[in-house]
Chain A
């Protein structure tokens, strides 16, 4: 397969100029180390900030708090100074920062700020018992920084920080495990936070302020909303269940609309899986398991529902286009999904 370009040229599909360009670039291919170096940088930042944190923690008694605080503050200040000096000016659209290194200086600065703020609270109780205030300050800073320098990593940290302030963990691996969804207060908090995040993201997108951030907002919000709604569904009983289930359906509908608009199958899939979990729960709790014949019914339920969903997934373009504009041909605009 070395000579793809050559055979295309011989078949007359590519003209000579293009062929020469391609064979020129292929005779001397460049090997990009972009992601390898970026990973090394990330590891370096992780190691250095962690190691630094440990050293500080071990030597609190000997170095003296002011000295440590001053050192952290100076380092943090240097990072931010560099960023403000080197960074591109703010724009509503995407901003491309010149060097890869830039993002990591920014990240280090933010992490040091977190250390600094935690330290002064731990040592001097600057915020006293107003822990909420202490938690919200880095979040506000991170939101500002992420918008100022157009950085979705920091935005993700800001969103998780906001959730932490509300008492919820929404980092991907801990969403289900770290939260105690058996209490209704957590569920309602999560619902409010999810709606707030998606609304805020939507409004900002409508205004054209960093519209590419919308995806990150919605990604956190959908998982949070679906998981908390499912928790609500599992906890509720009787007629209340159907209210929760109706809410899942509403969320799923919103997801489908969003998926269609963004041409992102990811959100359709999320909606489908969470809704299916809810539906299965409703089905399983609403039938009487004492009867032996019901076990068969359960098997039939899984087989029939999954076969139906697979049919829908494979033919979803045809089905959706029939539903929305009967008479017209299948919509092929989403083909790359």
Chain B
């Protein structure tokens, strides 16, 4: 099913491993050359910026060709929507045809052009499905349920064929949305189970991807599975997040909560909101799963905001100072502690760090820099404190 040459994919992985071994001083330059020579990879794989450039210009080209086709249809005076739908369909077919050609014959592998073609093909196909459904005179939410299920299905097939990360993510999200729309249309009980449906869908996806995918497929679709897993972890959390559930219940179930009142099963949601991020961090550290660990760290922040929103104990600035001091303290302690590796953890800089350093410098410049004002007159107004990027209005 997958379009790429499987031997090359294996060889590519071997080469990447060799690069890592070389970086860690496990093999010599000679070894690495020997590995590269014996493991040919015939893909056209330009670097990141090159691929970005190819993607950018291919996207413009595809938009212009779409516009050109529409102009042709307009010029023929057949002003039926039907004609546009046919042309749209031909356009999707053409995109997939070129994607096949580039990936199969020219061996493009995430080179920008092929990604743009796959996305344009999938996008125009899905757009067309919605158009036809709306055209068919169905104007209630059934359109969304049917359309999203079809979209999810289409994305799944496309992912199987091209192993495209973005399409894999779209598959997960459109499936989730379809399910939520379905529940939302099943009356009061349907609406009430939305959080659980979202949670079960996400957790189910995660477990299936983790335990029910063969080792071979896990290898071929590695990146797609990784992104779907990440999305599943996040959406499982969002589905049962206290803030999300509470505010959505108020809107969707027309609840009127008085002071001190809570949503049904509010405590369960609060408990899950508090428990999930530490659980992710724990599991991430235990299984050395970096994605899970990072998402857990991110969600701790989300949970803190959620709780603060309803139960504010400290004024924000005090909380900021205490939190900041805690963060610095914890990381200082760990940086000292892990200087010599402990329990399989270290603080060794990895292969990727040069690009990160530059990104970090830009982020620092973005958040902490002084902004000029038009006349410099009020440059040292209230906003100059601490260069606290987000807090200039205090």
Contacts and interface: CB of A to CB of B under 8 A. Distances in A.
A4 B325 CA distance: 44
Given A32-B348, A51-B324, A138 B370 contact: yes
Given A30-B345, A306-B61, A44 B331 contact: yes
B385 interface: yes
Interface in A294-337: 295-296, 299-300, 302-303, 306-307, 309-310, 313-314, 336-337
Nearest to A47: B324
B393 to A, nearest CB: 11
A36 B385 contact: no
A82 to B, nearest CB: 13
A266 B370 CA distance: 27
Nearest to B61: A306
Interface stretch (B24-32, B165-173, B226-234): B24-32
A238 interface: no
Contact of B371 (A14, A45, A174): A174
A303 B61 contact: yes
B338 A43 contact: no
B345 A156 contact: no
Contacts of A134: 379-380
A315 B25 CA distance: 35
Given A32-B348, A32-B349, A299-B68, A41 B331 contact: yes
B268 interface: no
Interface stretch (A159-167, A200-208, A243-251, A283-291): A159-167
A62 interface: no
B379 A131 contact: yes
B369 interface: yes
A32 B387 contact: no
Contacts of B52: 269
A115 B346 contact: no
A131 to B, nearest CB: 4
B387 A115 contact: yes
Contacts of A57: 382, 385, 394
B346 to A, nearest CB: 4
Nearest to B215: A1
B104 interface: no
B376 to A, nearest CB: 4
B37 to A, nearest CB: 9
Contacts of B13: 1, 4
Given A25-B26, A44-B328, A135 B370 contact: yes
A94 to B, nearest CB: 11
Contacts of A41: 327-328, 331-332, 335
A69 to B, nearest CB: 13
Given A8-B14, A269-B49, A48 B26 contact: no
A72 B362 CA distance: 26
A99 B385 contact: no
B27 A22 contact: yes
A51 B321 contact: yes
A90 interface: no
Residue among A47, A153, A309 with the highest chain B CB neighbour number at 10 A: A47
Interface string B362-394: 111111111110101101111011111111001
Given A115-B385, A122-B380, A164-B370, A310 B61 contact: yes
A66 interface: no
A173 B366 contact: yes
A121 interface: yes
B64 to A, nearest CB: 4
Q: For the side of the interface on B, what is the size category?
A: 35 or more
Interface stretch (B83-91, B237-245, B352-360): B352-360
Contacts of B188: none
A178 B371 contact: yes
A96 B164 CA distance: 39
B381 A122 contact: yes
Interface residues of A, number: 107
B347 A32 contact: yes
Given A302-B64, A313-B50, A30 B344 contact: yes
Contacts of A8: 14, 35
B376 A273 contact: no
Given A156-B362, A337-B50, A18 B26 contact: yes
B349 A34 contact: yes
A219 B297 CA distance: 31
B50 A18 contact: no
Given A269-B53, A296-B71, A299-B68, A37 B347 contact: yes
A80 B55 CA distance: 46
B219 interface: yes
B384 A122 contact: yes
A170 B65 CA distance: 36
Given A33-B347, A34-B348, A303-B68, A48 B366 contact: no
B21 A22 contact: yes
A111 B379 contact: no
Nearest to B46: A337
Contact of B54 (A35, A180, A314): A314
Nearest to A296: B71
Contacts of B317: 51, 54-55, 58
B328 A48 contact: yes
Contact of A53 (B328, B334, B386): B386
B345 A31 contact: yes
Interface in A102-138: 104, 107, 111-112, 114-115, 118-119, 121-122, 131-132, 134-135, 138
Contacts of B325: 44, 48
A167 B390 contact: no
Closest CB pairs A-B (n = 7): A51-B320, A48-B324, A53-B386, A47-B324, A44-B327, A118-B384, A53-B385
Given A21-B26, A153-B360, A160-B365, 16 more contacts: A25-B24, A31-B344, A47-B323, A48-B328, A49-B388, A54-B316, A100-B347, A111-B386, A115-B385, A119-B384, A131-B380, A156-B369, A164-B370, A164-B371, A310-B58, A313-B54
Interface of B: 10, 13-14, 17, 21, 24, 26-28, 31, 34-35, 38, 44, 46-47, 49-50, 52-54, 56-58, 60-61, 63-65, 67-68, 71, 113, 219, 285, 288, 290, 293-294, 297, 316-321, 323-332, 334-335, 338, 341, 344-350, 353, 356-358, 360-372, 374, 376-377, 379-382, 384-391, 394
